[in-house]
Amino acid sequence: MYSLKDELEPDLVMTGERLDAKAPLVKVLKATNASAKDIGDAMLGGADFPTLGCWKITGQYKKTSLSFIVWLAP
């Protein structure tokens, strides 16, 4: 579990790959933090997608990973 007081800059590693065609790599931004009364501490990550299309995004934090697929369209 992420704790802002224990880890100011989260060690979140994100990757992205396009599934429906070849494309340049996703530009992944360094993770940062957030905190709010209703959600507690959180990690924020960002990505700059070079093209539209179908993308698989994976986040890895410590021994846990999460992947999701998104369709980017105009």
Reference 61, options 6, 10, 27; nearest CA is 10
Give the start-to-end residue ranges of the domains of the chain.
Answer: 12-72
pLDDT of residue 9: 87
Q: Does residue 4 have a pLDDT over 90?
A: no
Q: State pLDDT tens for residues 9-37.
A: 898 999 999 999 999 999 999 999 988 99
Confidence of residue 3 (pLDDT cuts 50, 70, 90): confident
Are the C-beta atoms of residues 26 and 15 closer than 8 Å to each other?
yes
Which residues have CB under 8 Å from 23's CB, separation 6+?
Answer: 50, 51, 53
* Residues 35-51, mean pLDDT to the nearest whole number: 92
